Amino acid sequence: MEKTMADARETIDGFIEKQISARREEPQGRTPPPNNLEKEAEAEGIDLLSLYMQYENKDEMAHLKSPKTFLRDTIMSMMAAGTDTTSGALTWFFWLLSQNPFVEAKILQELTSIPNPNPTTNKQPRVFNSEDLGGLVYLHAALCECLRLYPPVPIIRKRVVATDHLPSGHRVEPGMDIFYSHYAPARMEKIWGKDCLEFRPERWISEQGVITFDHTDKFMVFNVGPRSCLGKDVSFTQMKAVVAAVLYNFQLQVLRDHVVAPKIAVVLQMENGLMVKVRERAVAAA
C-alpha cells in the first residue's frame, strides 16, 4: 500500500510540475500585470495557478523557504479539496431536500424572485451568475445546515508541533496526533440544542434576515481562525451555482426504497449513491 501511495504521489507531482512549467513558458502578454491582478484575471480568464505565480518574487512569498514547493502544495490542495468534498456535500444536500420539501419550496421562492434576463421563450436552462448567488440568503443557510449534519470530512487529524494544553486540560506533546469529529457534535443537544437532529436552515438566519455568525465557534467544517480554509468562499459559490441551476430547471425525485447510508471513507459520501428521477421543471410551477 505504501509503494502504491508513493507512486501515486510521484504521478501527481509530475502532473503539477508540467502545469507550472507550461505557465512559465506562456507568452508574457497573457500574464496579468502585478497591479489589479484579480480584475485582470477575471477579464482574461486567468486561472488560480497563474495568479499565485505572479506573487512568487513578491514580499508576500519572501518568507517561504521554497516558493516552488508552496505552488505544488497549493495546487495539490485545490485538486484534493474541491472535488469529492463538494460533490459529496451536494449529494447529501439534494437528499435532505427530498426529505424536507418545505425547504426546497423556500429555495425555489428565493430563486424565482431573481429577475430573469432571458426572454420567456428561451428554451435554454437558466443559470445564475455570481451577482445573483450573492443574495441567496436562504440557500446559503440551507447549505450551512447540510454541512453541519453531513460534513464532507467527518474526522479531522492534527499533528502536534509543540507542547501545549488543550482546553480540556489534556497535555499534548510534539509528534502526537489529535483526531476530532465534525460529524458527532452536530448530533449533540448540549452543542446545537434539542433540534440538533433536524434539518433547519432557519438557525443560520438572524432576525434581520441575514446569515448569523453566532455558530462560528462550533461550526468547524472549514476550520476556524488562522487555519480557516482558503477555498471556503469558492466552495459556497460552486455549490450555490449547482443547486440554483438544478432546482430551478429540474425536479429530483429520490427512487422509492433507495437505501441511503454513509460510506466509511475520508470523505463522507453515500454508500449507494443517490438514485433519482429527473424531470424538467415548469418555470411557472416554480
Q: Known binding site for heme: residues?
A: 229
* CA R_g for the chain: 22
Query: Which amino acids are annotated as binding site, given as ranges?
Result: 229
**Cα–Cα distance between 109 and 10 in angstroms, integer?**
49
Q: Return d(Cα 205, Cα 110) in angstroms, integer.
A: 14
